[in-house]
Structure 1
Amino acid sequence: MVGSGNPEAGSLVSTYRSVLPAGARRGIVRKVPAPLRSAVKSSLTSVDAVRSATIVWAMGGRRNASRHSAAYARRVVRVGGRHMRALLVDGATAWAARARNLHILTSVLEAGGIDYFCVRGTAHDVPTVAVPAALRDEAEDMLRIAFDQTPGYVGPAAAPAAESAMQPGDEDKSWRQLRKQRTLRVAWYVTDPTQQLVFGADQGCDLEFWTERDGWLEAPRANRVADRVPVDAPRRTAPQALFSPVPPAYTTGDVATLAEFSVRLPEDHAFPVDVVYTWVDDSDPAWRAARDRARGALTGGTLHEQAANDARYTSRDELLYSLRSLHQNAPWVRNVYLVTAGQAPAWLNTDHPNLKVVDHREIFSDPMALPTFNSHAIETQLHHIEGLSECFLYLNDDVFFGRPVTPGHFFHPNGLTKFFQSKALIPVGDVQADELPVNAAGKNSRRLIAQQFGSALSQKMKHTPHALRRSVLSEIEDVYAREHLATQHSRFRSPKDIPVASSLHHYYAYHSARATVGDLRYQYVDLAASLAERRLNSLLAHRNFDTFCINDTVSGPDPDAQTRMLERFLETYFPVPSPYETRGLPGIPATRAAELRSTDA
């Protein structure tokens, strides 16, 4: 039977339990029969091999797995005011830690010959494994041996603050306190070499004990599919990713489950999601010369100071860290497209199979509109990217994923997009000649929506990743052809621009029943503001925002100080390199990065 594990190991567990009473077993875990300990150790060794492969993938496939496995070490880290034991892993991510925990748990159960099946649970981002309650003692014994081999933690899954309730899994007291709990959280903690990142209880797994009654196994709590199943229901295998939003690249194979839990559900996101970045290298002499020529050729008035000021184009390697945030917190994306004016950062791994640099010339429907220095113009052409998925995320390089997010943060399972309204309002009245470009664009969007749908827009959008659909963008190009074409040909931000990707798409899709208002925990930081450093320090201390934007549309009095402040923050918040970086060419040298992290904010 799939999921029954190793029968020989299972018989060893039974012998071990029959020879030793409960009190003795819990006191001499280190003296358990050698074959049983070997079975668990072998299981954990296989987990280490899978973990190494996962880290190799995470680092872009350019590292040696055997060298990595030998480099693992234990560290004591501070989590929520407590000192916890964690495995130090180069390239650690939350998703890899979650995949590892699920694989350890199922491997240990299989090593002990303990029947289990994975469940489509309701716990947010946490995979769930079910074991018949009659096998609880055997399961706990196996876990105690595993925790003795590889230190980890166990606690009640229902705890309001799971981290504070986690206890060492190799201590008797921990298990005595949990005897009345029908659902446990188990986790083996992981940290990165800088120890800025710790992945613990939130990346753990839940272990449920299902009670047998009248030929049925009954769940201890609700789940998304079935609260009871036949005792003799046949086991089958299914991909690990089905039971938590672990991206396919992080999965470690199939796990045992039941037919009821192995099918696609209406709330599953079954479509691919790509990411599109727009980026410019303002230090490129050729690009600067082209911009200056285009600015000098302008006729019919002057530009608003925010339409082409240097701060709008300044690059401080934010893209490097935004890609790190993507890799850390949203690795479920399929492909990344970087839209540029024929440029690419020196550190970019252009050989990565899921990364493509797209030149403006490849997507602009009218080449005469180039060169352009207007993000509004570039955004009108994103849906022309060849191979781009229907549903995709668009973001600038100053937008970051602050903690693990899922496709559900941005898209409904049926493909409807979500947008995130700001408290900032679009000013009333018509567009004025000296209007801020962002306000003029908002007013133009409001005018078009009012003309077609009869409603008046009042709110701007947050600076978040924008969830878009190619079909909606294509429709907008046809419906608002005149305004769309004029924006494409606007080389700098103009009072006549329409904000296609950052606003108009959302409101147009909403009024045509293809988008809804979403809810995202978000923070905006203006580097020129007096409270910028305090806000960055708060972000770093709490890491409790889904996304955040660090913007500098206006240069501050000390640009160098702004740069140092931003570098220190980004290197500390996102210390783990992404596979989109070329090894040996990081944005900041390792010595400089260490210096930044050690500098008091």
Structure 2
Amino acid sequence: MTFPIDFVIDWVDDSDPRWINKRNDYLPESERLSTRFRDWGWLKYWFRSVDVNAPWVRYVHLITDSQVPNWLDINNSKLNLVDHTSYIDRSYLPTFNSNAIELSIHKINLLSNHFVFFNDDFFLNDEVVPENFFSTKGLPLDSGIVSPQLPINNSITHITTNNMQIINDIYSRKNILKHLHKFLNIRYGKQNIKTLVSLMWPMILGFNDLHIPISFKKETFKMVWERYGHLLKETEENKFRTKNDLNIFLMRYWQLINGDFQPRSYGFGKYYNLSDNNDLVISDILKKKHKVIVLNDQPNIHNFYKVKKEIQDTFSRRYPKKSSFEI
């Protein structure tokens, strides 16, 4: 690659008393036991996985709300510690809305034009190369599968449907047909059936959200902000997630509908909902079955601390050595 690639990850320590008090100033008492912010203690292993699996990354931009893990070497030459105050309009702070935190990440100082976005439950699970995320011409790698967005409980599809309303404001099926070879592609396997069925409608019903690390170009964010900044600001005004929010997937959809991507295998990553039985997750981590994995928290886990330790122990077996990001 002739261009640099950065990683961006956002993280919060929900056990921090200062942060808890700040959040509670804005949060109704009835909602203060939410599991949305609980920290699984995996960030250290996320950095270890980067050290082992992607030593080529230029910078890791760690977004926090004035929080620094006590094990983190803040002097690491590859680390850019990013506080909310450094790129989010102060009139919107403090914010506890991940959508608001992520919509403006293109404003992060030192961020390269090509970057991969992670949540703190997205992990590199095997060795990767830059070409797993971007083509040699700089196109983000993604799976452009067309699929309906159906709002359901306990999901973000209300928000992704909001994103699609914007996409359909200026785009239609003809834009997909213009780049049809990218939306009907052998790399997607049987997922192509979703696209074929969805193309019966003149409007765009939605895109299949893989919930894995996303390859972005900074210029995409700039284009969306130039056209829809007034709507994005409405999300930034919300201290917590709402069903009226927009989110970072809007930028992904923008890349897809404009054909600004290169098709990648649908099986590149795997999304897991954690439960009280995580044998499949543990097996994937230890046997490196997928290049990237996502470990999604679930409110119905009965023994959080047991599951937390079980996954931590698995990561410790896989990555026993300190990373260069640790003191």
Mapped contact 1:399–1:547 kept (Cα < 8 A):
yes
Length-normalised TM-score, structure 1: 0.47
Aligned to 1:562: 307
SS across alignment from 1:379:
helix
**Contact kept in structure 1, 2:285 and 2:315, CA below 8 Å:** no
Shift of 1:566: 1.3
Kept in 1, the 8 Å contact 2:225–2:232? The answer is yes
Q: Is the Cα–Cα contact under 8 Å of residues 391 and 467 in structure 1 kept in the other structure?
A: yes
Conserved? CA contact 1:311–1:555, under 8 Å? no
Greater relative contact order (Cα < 8 A, sep 6+): 2
Specify whether residues 527 and 491 from structure 1 end up closer, same or farther in structure 2 by C-alpha distance, changes over 3 A only: same
Indicate the SS of the match to 1:294: coil
The CA deviation string for residues 68-121 of structure 1, in whole angstroms up to 9 with x for no partner, is: xxxxxxxxxxxxxxxxxxxxxxxxxxxxxxxxxxxxxxxxxxxxxxxxxxxxxx
The total of aligned residue pairs comes to 296
Query: How many Å separate the matches in 2 of 1:456 and 1:360?
Result: 34
AA of the residue aligned to 2:319: F
Which residue in 2 is equivalent to 1:323? 47
The corresponding residue for 1:524 is 271
Q: Which residue of 2 aligns with 1:577?
A: 322
Alignment of 1:546 with 2:264, yes or no, is no
- Specify the SS of the correspondent of 1:387: coil
> In 1, distance between residues paired with 2:293 and 2:269?
5
Alpha-carbon offset, residue 415 of structure 1:
1.1
Match of 2:36 in 1: 312
Q: Once the 2 structures are TM-superposed, how far is the Cα of residue 505 of structure 1 from its aligned partner? A: 1.2
Partner amino acid, structure 1, of 2:230: R
Q: C-alpha separation between the residues in 1 aligned to 2:57 and 2:304?
A: 34
Q: Is the 8 A contact 2:147 2:205 kept in 1?
A: no
C-alpha contact 2:114 2:218 (8 A) present in aligned 1: yes
After superposition, what is the alpha-carbon deviation per residue over 1:179-227, rounded to whole angstroms, capped at 9, x for unaligned?
A: xxxxxxxxxxxxxxxxxxxxxxxxxxxxxxxxxxxxxxxxxxxxxxxxx
**Corresponding position of 2:250:** 504
Pick from 34, 41, 61 the counterpart of residue 337 of structure 1: 61
* Residue number in structure 1 paired with 2:228: 480
Q: Deviations over 1:11-52 (max 9, x none)?
A: xxxxxxxxxxxxxxxxxxxxxxxxxxxxxxxxxxxxxxxxxx
Shift of 1:544: 2.2
The structural deviation recorded for 1:324 is 0.8
1:422 Cα offset (Å): 7.9
CA contact (8 A) 2:144 2:256 kept: no
Partner SS for 2:205: coil
Whole-angstrom CA distance in 2 between matches of 1:552 and 1:423: 26
1:332 counterpart SS class: coil
Secondary structure of the 1:506 match is helix
Q: Which residue number corresponds to residue 162 of structure 1? A: none
C-alpha distance in 1 between matches for 2:91 and 2:26: 13
Alpha-carbon displacement from aligned partner over 1:405-443 (angstroms, at most 9, x marks no partner):
111111111111122468985206xxxxx9545011111
Q: Please, what is the CA RMSD of the aligned residues?
A: 2.2
Could you tell me which residue of structure 1 aligns to residue 75 of structure 2?
351
Tell me, yes or no, if the aligned pair for 1:423 and 1:460 is still in contact at 8 Å: yes
1:438 paired with 2:156, answer: yes
1:462 offset after TM fit, Å? Answer: 1.7
Rounded to whole Å, the distance in 2 between the matches of 1:422 and 1:316 is 31
Question: Which residue in the other structure is 2:259 paired with?
Answer: 513
Relative to structure 1, is the Cα distance of residues 567 and 344 closer, same or farther in structure 2, using a 3 angstrom cutoff? same
Counterpart position of 1:57: none
Cα offset, 1:317, TM superposition: 1.9
Aligned to 1:283: 15
Amino acid paired to 2:283: S
TM-score by length of 2: 0.84
Q: What pairs with 1:366-515 in structure 2 (closer than 5 Å)?
A: 366-420=89-143, 426-427=149-150, 436=154, 438-454=156-172, 455-500=203-248, 503-515=249-261
Q: Relative to 1, partners in 2 of residues 1:423 and 1:580: Cα closer, same or farther, differing over 3 Å? A: farther
Structure 2 distance, partners of 1:549, 1:509, is 22
Would the alpha carbon gap of residues 386 and 537 (structure 1) be closer, same or farther in structure 2, given more than 3 Å must change? closer
In the alignment, structure 2 segments of 5+ residues that lack a partner are 173-202
Q: Match for 1:494: what amino acid? A: T
Q: Equivalents in 1 of 2:55, 2:40: separation in Å?
A: 23
Q: CA deviation at 1:527?
A: 1.8
Q: What secondary structure does 2:243 align onto?
A: coil
Letter in 2 for 1:485: K
> Aligned-pair distance for 1:465?
1.3
* SS of aligned partner of 2:66: coil
SS at match of 2:36: helix
Take 1:399 and 1:311, find their aligned partners in 2: how far apart are those partners? 17
- Paired position in structure 2 for 1:62: none
Equivalent AA in structure 2 for residue 394 of structure 1: F
1:425-476 per-position Cα deviation (integer Å, ceiling 9, x unaligned):
5206xxxxx9545011111011111111024133342221111111110111
Structure 1 residues 496 and 516: CA distance shift in structure 2, 3 A = farther
Larger radius of gyration: 1
Match of 1:14 in 2: none
Partners of 1:423 and 1:341 in 2: CA distance:
35
* Runs of 5+ consecutive residues of structure 1 not aligned to the other structure: 1-268, 429-433, 583-601
Does the 8 Å contact 1:376/1:487 carry over to 2? yes
Q: Cα–Cα, structure 1 residues 288 and 444, in superposed 2: closer, same or farther, change >3 Å?
A: same
1:66-105 matches, within 5 Å, as none
User: Could you list the per-position Cα deviations for residues 236-293 of structure 1 after superposition, in whole angstroms to 9, with x for gaps in the alignment?
Assistant: xxxxxxxxxxxxxxxxxxxxxxxxxxxxxxxxx2100011110111011111111111
Counterpart of 1:274 in 2: which secondary structure? strand
Name 1:265's counterpart in structure 2.
Answer: none
User: Secondary structure in 2 aligned to 1:277?
Assistant: strand
Q: Which AA in structure 2 matches 1:524?
A: Y
Aligned to 1:65: none
Match of 2:175 in 1: none
Could you say what secondary structure the match of 1:393 adopts?
strand
For the Cα contact (< 8 Å) 1:273–1:393, is it kept in 2? Answer: yes
